[in-house]
Chains A and B, each alone.
Chain A
Amino acid sequence: KAGVTQTPRYLIKTRGQQVTLSCSPISGHRSVSWYQQTPGQGLQFLFEYFSETQRNKGNFPGRFSGRQFSNSRSEMNVSTLELGDSALYLCASRGLRGQANTEAFFGQGTRLTVV
């Protein structure tokens, strides 16, 4: 079974630009979450999508947005990039059996550098 795939692995953008990151979850998984990892703040939750609906959102400005498609693939977008947005962005997928909460499987991440 293929794991969680994130593209691209590395990205360099200029301040003020926007960026879109992609995540393909494990086949059959319908829940996708996004996390930002920085040395200063650690791992912080951005949002979670399930069946194309945002179920939960972390404490990030509106410049951070996401969506999920009918095939469960997800994208996150950051507009008007700031230097502080430089981070490793991790995507995680989960399979939900009824209401059972299963573990999250993480992708390798996208390393975003804003210059």
Chain B
Amino acid sequence: AQSVTQLDSQVPVFEEAPVELRCNYSSSVSVYLFWYVQYPNQGLQLLLKYLSGSTLVKGINGFEAEFNKSQTSFHLRKPSVHISDTAEYFCAVSDPPDRGSTLGRLYFGRGTQLTVWP
């Protein structure tokens, strides 16, 4: 089974400052990687995904993430945050389709609460 570690449970930051949310995963073979955001009392919204190709992935709301295979990391970054970015962020992995027995199952990290202060 896959495992995902989000290294920081809480990240406070001031508005317009840059932010990095860290994510490491356990697999040494190919995986699909995702970042989701959750606002209070809401479901999960996909920010970005890495399936293959370029290791720098751009997502919605100005977020981007870099896939690093050697370090099994997929850190999320934003150069300048806004108060509206305050939310919980989840990193997730899933197996690619050639390992079809677990096709579709997402393994989530424990989440990082990003709080943006004015």
| A interface residues, Cβ below 8 angstroms from B | 4, 6, 31, 33, 35, 42-43, 45, 48, 50, 55-56, 58, 90, 92, 94, 99-101, 103-109, 111
Contact = CB atoms under 8 A, between A and B. Distances in A.
Contacts of B51: 101
A92 B110 CA distance: 18
B43 A4 contact: yes
Interface-centre pick from A31, A99, A111 (highest chain B CB count, 10 A): A99
Contacts of A99: 97-98, 100, 103
B106 A45 contact: yes
Interface in B91-118: 94, 96-98, 100-111
Contacts of A101: 32, 51, 94, 96-97, 103-104
B44 interface: yes
A55 B103 CA distance: 8
B46 A56 contact: no
Report the 10 A-B pairs with minimum CB-CB distance, sorted nearest first. A106-B43, A43-B108, A99-B97, A106-B44, A108-B43, A42-B110, A101-B97, A48-B104, A107-B43, A109-B43
Contact of A103 (B46, B96, B97, B102): B46
Contact of A48 (B49, B98, B105): B105
Interface of B: 32, 34, 36, 41-46, 49, 51, 90, 94, 96-98, 100-111
A9 B104 CA distance: 24
Nearest to B104: A48
Contacts of A45: 105-107
B104 A33 contact: yes
Contacts of B42: 108-109
Contact of B108 (A4, A6, A42): A42
Nearest to B103: A101
Given A4-B43, A42-B111, A109-B43, A104 B100 contact: no
A84 B49 CA distance: 32
A90 B44 contact: yes
A6 B68 CA distance: 36
